[in-house]
Amino acid sequence: MRARLLAATFTVYHSASHSAPAVIDDVIRSAGVSRGTFYKYFVSLEEAVAELGSQMALDLLQRIKDVYRDVDDPVERVVGGALMPLARAAIQPRWGAFTSRVDFTQQSLSRDGLLLGFTMDSLLQARDESTLSFESVTAAVDLILGVVVEGMRRSVNGQPANKGYIRALLVMILRGLGAEGGVAARTVASAWNRFESRAKAFDWWRELSE
């Protein structure tokens, strides 16, 4: 039942507009349950959304680690952490809509380690090795998050991102973090090839257009 309510929460958040946000009645109608049943599992709609966002963040983090954890180049790991959500939003706009619209889903991405763990460690290593150059690692993380969220919203708003668009965003991220142009392009190409070779095992995978 908990999973059923979370699935209904995902459905109504996708269909809700900014002028008419989702409410508990929408969720229980979609799930086909009573209000009392909802309150047996969650004290509020916000709690249900927070749990769903946390689950989605942890799932994404695990998939990023599955693909990139054994990569020696920290710059490629930085690219991988940004590439995966951009590609998934292009492939699954409903997933991207939820992730980019719910503020504390973005907080979950940081709190659960996607940025503050995996990406931040990679950024610091790359700076130590002088392959990236930036003064504030917090600012570097915010740069990546901001670009990723806006890139995801493009797919959600009826302009699905293709490979070329995503690769261009990733190169711009690296250039903004001090990478030389040729290095940035080669690193993005390597990260993309690795992603495509391993993402075929994901249940949401499909080939993106050029």
Task: Tell me the two tokens of residue 119.
Answer: 């990406």
What one-character DSSP code corresponds to residue 115?
I
User: Hey, how many other C-beta atoms are within 10 angstroms of the C-beta on 200?
Assistant: 10
pLDDT for the residue numbered 159: 74
Write the pLDDT tens digit of every residue in 48-76.
988 888 788 788 888 888 899 889 999 99
pLDDT in tens, 102-115: 654 455 455 445 55
Comparison of pLDDT for 145 and 156, the residue scoring more = 145
pLDDT in tens, 1-44: 999 999 999 888 766 555 457 788 889 999 999 999 999 999 99
**For residue 72, what pLDDT is reported?**
94
Q: Which CATH number fits domain 50-199: 1.10.357.10, 2.30.40.10, 1.10.240.10, 3.40.50.150?
A: 1.10.357.10
The predicted structure's pLDDT at residue 107: 52
Domain spans of the chain, in order of start: 1-43, 50-199
Question: 64-98: buried (b, 16+ CB within 10 Å) or exposed (e) per residue?
Answer: bbebbeebebbbbbbbbbbbbbbbbbbbbbebbbb
Tokens of 169: 């965003």
Q: Return the CATH number of the domain spanning residue range 1-43.
A: 1.10.10
Task: Report the candidate in 199, 197, 198, 168 with the shortest Cα–Cα distance to residue 185.
Answer: 168
d(C-alpha 198, C-alpha 56), whole Å:
19
